[in-house]
Amino acid sequence: MIRRRAKDAGIKTAIGCHTSRATGITAYLTNGGKLEVAQQMAAHESARTTGLYDRRGDEISLDEVERIAI
């Protein structure tokens, strides 16, 4: 359903229910939350599984982009 709605909205990026889960976990951790608590909220047996949803390392800072010189 989420993929269908995203397509109808013109979103080209692959998106699904795990996208929302990753967004929530990442936002929680970015705001100082603890991985162990995120694990409990996500009902994961392992913190390793919760860590797979942590997208903080995917963000590229503007400083890094500005290193591109042509």
Q: What is the pLDDT of residues 55-68, one digit of tens each?
A: 998 877 777 777 88
Instruction: Read off the DSSP letter of residue 45.
Output: S
Q: How far apart are the first and last CA of the chain?
A: 43
Instruction: State residue 61's pLDDT score.
Output: 72
Q: Which are the contacts of 51, defined by CB distance < 8 A and separation ≥ 6?
A: 35
Distances (CA, A) of 43 to 5, 21, 34: 26, 11, 14
Instruction: State residue 62's pLDDT score.
Output: 72
Q: What is the pLDDT of residues 6-62, one digit of tens each?
A: 899 999 988 888 999 999 999 999 999 999 999 999 999 999 999 999 999 887 777
Instruction: State residue 70's pLDDT score.
Output: 73
Instruction: State residue 14's pLDDT score.
Output: 87
